[in-house]
Amino acid sequence: MQALENPRVRFERYVAIGDSSTEGLDDPDGRGGYRGWADRLAERIALSQGDLLYANLGVRGRVTRQVREQQLAQAIAMRPDLATVFTGTNDLLSLRFDVGAIANDMEVMQRTLIDQGATVLTFTLPDLSPVMPLARSVSPRIRAMNEALRRVCASTGAIVIDFASVPVATDSRLWSADHIHANAWGHTLIADALAEALGLPGTDDSWRSDLPLLPPATRWARLMSEFAWLRRHVLPWMKRSLRHHDLEATRKPKRPELEVVSSRALATPLQS
């Protein structure tokens, strides 16, 4: 994992762009919305330096090309000195998968942000086949996209956290019931990893540690779990995709403008 050379640097404006992971699904904020790793990272930075301006342009359902076309210019206009760029999950699930085009869009976003003065962070996607059964069919796509992302980051200088090489990232306890989005625990782990990459005070690599082992599930239990997952999440998702396409296309970011995140405004310590 690349890391920030100067861990004592202060950040004034942090902008997060991406898809539902950046938006924060499935990490409820207790107010009917979502928190997520980007919010958690912003809070960690504010706690370490006193305050921070933060915007989150992530929108669920967006593929990499849409993030570039719909979010990059808005992000640049905010003149961030810190940016996170994470996309690709929706590309993996699309019928058409062009890793070359995805890599090009990633490079354009990273290089544009870096050229205007931002430190850029991103991360690879772990092989989700231990968590999401259907991911077995897209595992080659995940590997190809991760390798492309590593090459792009090596070229642009973006910091990449390689979750694909960390076994704990595929622990089912870090993922929500839909097996696609991280849960609160998973979002906390991602924020911890990003905070360590920035060298924030009090951070270390403990996020890499494996969780205690669980008793192995029987074959019957696994089959029933997969069937329940298909019925409760995959089929409803397919129906929503067909019926509510227009709604998803017009969905707005949850935090479209830079707003102050102040350590003084955090009444309680960060919760996991």
DSSP state string for 122-143 = EEPPP--TTT-GGGGGGHHHHH
The CA distance from 37 to 60, in Å, is: 14
The class of domain 13-210+217-265 in CATH terms is alpha beta
How large a percentage of the chain has pLDDT more than 90?
A: 68
- Whether the per-residue pLDDT at 235 is higher than 80: the answer is no
Q: Write down the pLDDT at residue 250.
A: 79
CA distance 45 to 199: 10
Is the pLDDT score of 230 beyond 80? Answer: no
Q: DSSP state, 233?
A: I
pLDDT, position 205: 96
217 phi and psi angles, rounded to 5 deg: -80, 150
DSSP string, 96-131: ---HHHHHHHHHHHHHHHHHTT-EEEEEPPP--TTT
- Which residue's entry shows tokens 């069937």? 227
* CA pair distance 60, 249, nearest whole angstrom: 9
Label residue 213 by pLDDT band (50, 70, 90): confident
Total residues found in the chain within this entry: 272
- Give the integer Cα–Cα distance in Å for 196 and 192: 6
Nearest CA to 11 out of 55, 37, 56, 45 is that of 45
What percent of the chain stands above pLDDT 70? 79
Tens digit of pLDDT for each residue in 92-126? 888 899 999 999 999 999 999 999 999 999 999 99
Segment (H or E) for 75: helix 64-77
Cα dist from 114 to 101, 150, 159, 171, 225, whole Å: 20, 16, 11, 33, 44
Q: Is the pLDDT of residue 27 over 60?
A: yes
For the segment 152-186, what is each residue's pLDDT rounded down to a tens digit? 999 999 999 999 999 999 998 999 888 789 999 99
Instruction: Look up the pTM and report it.
Output: 0.88
Q: At residue 258, does pLDDT exceed 80?
A: yes
The residue type of 265 is A
pLDDT at 232: 61
Residue 247 clears pLDDT 80, i.e. is over it: no
Higher pLDDT, 72 or 250: 72
What does the block give as tokens for 23? 């938006």
Between these two residues, 100 and 50, which has the higher pLDDT value? Answer: 100
Residue 229 has pLDDT above 70, yes or no: no
Mean pLDDT over 182-191 rounds to 97
**pLDDT at position 135, please?**
66
Mean pLDDT of 186-192: 97
Which residue bears the tokens 């609160």? Answer: 184
Per-residue model confidence (pLDDT) at position 271: 39
What is the rounded distance in angstroms from the CA atom of residue 54 to the CA atom of residue 266?
15
What is the reported pLDDT for 8? 59
